[in-house]
Structure 1
């Protein structure tokens, strides 16, 4: 094969690989109702409750329940939230900062 053909194949392959690593985010017309959560008792002193989160899969959001975790020193959890966007609602995932 010619050098340019090989480079084109390589570029297309790398683009496909990088796109498959991109986070999956979707937009829904109406945000789902807030789930009813019964937070269990903290398993140990200093544990922090991480609120449930929504994961985009199979063309929709699936709720993932919250959990207790011991935070790393100097880090704080900022919970996720629904954000109004042009065509509906999008979930902004919670994160540690």
Structure 2
């Protein structure tokens, strides 16, 4: 998936109102469905498709990839925004916090 396609795919999540968790949850579900329709897969550390990945985990993984792409382009403000949205999704889904390294 190209960085541009990934950015377009994540647009509903990145534009969800900061105080509207219901809208964010809906955006996560729609984005996860679109990812699945496009054949986007979350990989495990061995590079194989991960099993039992929730919609939230798949979208957070996509946001982390998006943040990495933004960082390579020097768009640090956008990196911060993407990672903040990933943390919101994590809190929404009660996912454990993992330190990010890029």
Interval containing the TM-score (normalised by the shorter chain) = under 0.3
Normalised TM-score (structure 2): 0.20
- Structure having the larger proportion of residues in helix: 2
- Structure having the larger proportion of residues in strand: 1
Could you say which structure has the larger radius of gyration?
Answer: 1
Normalised TM-score (structure 1): 0.21
